[in-house]
């Protein structure tokens, strides 16, 4: 007789194409059954999820946890605690730390740090630049992918020439790893910023003036051409403008292996918010005019943009409130607030909750080769789960964030939808809005499971291997009721 470790009873289980009234049985970190409560095995522990939605944990493919090098901004412990509170069960951390993860030794050191501190699962990016190309074959063994900076941002990572990019893509392509791109053309931005400074512009709007949307349009077009030539798989990070959607769509239509992401701040904030938030809103690429928001929403809906991520980029309050915009550090926390912000849009009817699961969990898992082990609640999948109260209304309070950086442009924003419990591989990491003791170090690296099939469920009765779609079925558009 099978005895499950946990049965989550009578919730609304969400996938990228449906919402069903069901229970979920978990054993040894894996989902073993999804279906009517009467079909569930006995369990050591149960959780009553009536009235709650049971989502695949979000996979945030774009975070900066600043570890090692910037302990006052964030580290893997605080960053992954924030992720757990945000219903995020896997994070991909960027390489612009001290030192950057551009060598096998630096990468190995960062793996040790993350393994010791992480509350949720993680992937690490390797830095891709002209001086790291020689390390690609070795680093490819233990990275989730590579990050290439086409434009300057925090950490002052050198920007490769187009020739260097071409060679880098040629070397990465045979590894099968995806290259995530900060797609802004550096030479344009440097000239524009110099002109702004010479004119004495230190106001927040000078930042957006120095980085017009054309920097992204040119960069996306150039990256797509190089990827098409080399066969490299690429991902466009933090899409901020309507204009860069055209080269993205055209590249996809040509068969280029290209995907894209956007972030909550690009669809929920606009240039009008600069007067209120000043340097707090400074981020690369910048938050732009409101006219960009609906085209980006449309691009998510039609599949041009594949992923919702956060670009979680913490800094201290002092670093975000300087009077000279050029001395304000770029970015702000987001891994803890992304899910509530997006669930608020679900409640408002902008899209349905299955759409959200597609963008936050299923698509990231598929793009980075983690599906169906992650990104779905189904037999054989790892039990990475966010259990949310979709109708809980509350106010974001920077002071209560788990991140060490307690300053965001979403402070005092009213939201509707809250992660109540977060499980990583079947274990509660956050329960009843409390970080559980003993979960530091529970997170594991995910590169080792890229492109592997879901585990075979041995000694589980055949009826337990099926998604038993019995009981009430809830259509996605009705799921917020």
As its CATH architecture, domain 3-55+380-390+417-478 has Roll (2.30)
Mean pLDDT of 161-175: 98
Mean pLDDT of 312-332: 97
Confidence of residue 452 (pLDDT cuts 50, 70, 90): confident
Q: What is the pLDDT of residues 346-364, one digit of tens each?
A: 999 999 999 999 999 999 9
Q: Which two tokens stand for residue 407?
A: 């300053």
On the question of pLDDT at 481 being above 50, the answer is no
On the question of pLDDT at 468 being above 70, the answer is no
Residue among 112, 93, 101 nearest 136 (CA): 101
CATH superfamily of 57-367: Metal-dependent hydrolases (3.20.20.140)
Name the more confident of 478 and 264.
Answer: 264
What ranges do the domains of the chain cover? 3-55+380-390+417-478, 57-367
On the question of pLDDT at 469 being above 80, the answer is no
β-pairing, 121-127 vs 145-149, is: parallel
What is the pLDDT, as a whole number, of residue 396? 98
What is the pLDDT, as a whole number, of residue 460? 53
Mean pLDDT of 475-481: 37
On the question of pLDDT at 194 being above 60, the answer is yes
Q: How many CB atoms lie within 10 A of CB 382?
A: 29
Confidence of residue 1 (pLDDT cuts 50, 70, 90): confident
Confidence of residue 458 (pLDDT cuts 50, 70, 90): low
Confidence of residue 455 (pLDDT cuts 50, 70, 90): confident
On the question of pLDDT at 299 being above 90, the answer is yes
Name the more confident of 405 and 462.
Answer: 405
What is the pLDDT, as a whole number, of residue 459? 53
**Global pTM?**
0.95
Q: Express as a percent the part of the chain with pLDDT over 90.
A: 93
What is the pLDDT, as a whole number, of residue 155? 73
Q: Which two tokens stand for residue 388?
A: 């949310």
What residues have CB less than 8 Å from 162, skipping those under 6 apart?
222, 226
Chain mean position to CA 233: 18
Residue among 465, 445, 455, 418 nearest 86 (CA): 418
What is the pLDDT, as a whole number, of residue 303? 98
On the question of pLDDT at 454 being above 50, the answer is yes
Q: What is the pLDDT of residues 203-246, one digit of tens each?
A: 999 999 999 999 999 999 999 999 999 999 999 999 999 999 99
Tell me whether the omega of the peptide bond preceding residue 88 falls within 30 degrees of 0, making it cis: no
What is the pLDDT, as a whole number, of residue 472? 40
What is the pLDDT, as a whole number, of residue 156? 81
On the question of pLDDT at 274 being above 60, the answer is yes
On the question of pLDDT at 52 being above 50, the answer is yes
Q: Give yes or no on whether 3-55+380-390+417-478 and 57-367 have one common fold.
A: no
On the question of pLDDT at 255 being above 80, the answer is yes
């Amino acid at each position: 007789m099978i005895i499950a470790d946990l049965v989550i009873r009578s919730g609304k289980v969400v996938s990228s194409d449906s919402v069903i009234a069901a229970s979920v049985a978990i054993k040894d970190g894996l989902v073993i059954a999804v279906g009517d409560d009467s079909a569930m095995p006995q369990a050591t522990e149960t959780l009553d999820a009536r009235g709650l939605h049971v989502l695949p944990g979000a996979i945030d493919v774009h975070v900066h946890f600043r570890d090692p090098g910037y302990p006052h901004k964030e580290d893997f412990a605080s960053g992954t605690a924030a992720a757990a509170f945000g219903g995020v069960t896997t994070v991909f951390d960027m390489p612009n730390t001290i030192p950057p993860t551009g060598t096998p030794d630096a990468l190995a050191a960062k793996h040790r740090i993350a393994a010791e501190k992480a509350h949720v699962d993680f992937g690490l990016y390797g830095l891709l630049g002209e001086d790291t190309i020689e390390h690609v074959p070795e680093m490819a063994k233990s990275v989730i992918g590579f990050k290439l900076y086409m434009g300057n941002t925090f950490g002052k990572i050198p920007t490769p020439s187009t020739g260097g990019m071409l060679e880098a893509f040629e070397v990465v392509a045979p590894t099968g790893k995806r290259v995530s791109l900060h797609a802004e053309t550096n030479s344009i931005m440097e000239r524009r910023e110099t002109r702004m400074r010479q004119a004495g512009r230190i106001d927040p709007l000078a930042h957006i003036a120095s980085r017009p949307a054309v920097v992204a349009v040119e960069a996306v077009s150039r990256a797509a051409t190089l990827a098409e030539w080399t066969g490299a798989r690429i991902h466009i990070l933090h899409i901020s403008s309507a204009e860069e959607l055209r080269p993205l769509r055209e590249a996809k239509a040509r068969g280029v292996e290209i995907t894209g992401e956007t972030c909550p701040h690009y669809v929920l904030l606009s240039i009008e918010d600069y007067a209120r938030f000043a340097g707090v809103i400074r981020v690369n690429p910048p938050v732009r005019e409101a006219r960009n928001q609906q085209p980006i929403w449309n691009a998510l809906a039609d599949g041009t943009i594949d992923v919702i991520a956060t670009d979680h980029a913490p800094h201290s309050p002092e670093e975000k409130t300087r009077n000279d915009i050029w001395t304000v550090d770029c970015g702000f926390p987001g891994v803890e607030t992304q899910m509530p912000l997006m669930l608020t849009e679900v409640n408002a009817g902008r899209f349905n909750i299955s759409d959200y699961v597609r963008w936050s969990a299923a698509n990231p898992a598929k793009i980075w080769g983690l599906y169906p082990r992650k990104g779905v609640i189904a037999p054989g999948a790892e039990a990475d789960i966010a259990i949310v109260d979709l109708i809980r209304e509350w106010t974001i309070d920077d002071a209560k964030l788990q991140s060490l950086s307690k300053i965001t442009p979403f402070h005092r924003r009213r939201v509707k939808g809250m992660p109540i419990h977060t499980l990583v591989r079947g274990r509660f990491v956050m329960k009843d809005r409390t970080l559980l003791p003993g979960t530091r170090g529970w997170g594991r690296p995910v590169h080792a499971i890229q492109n592997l099939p879901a585990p075979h469920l041995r000694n589980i009765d055949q009826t337990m291997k099926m998604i038993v779609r019995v009981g009430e079925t809830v259509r996605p558009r009705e799921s917020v009721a």
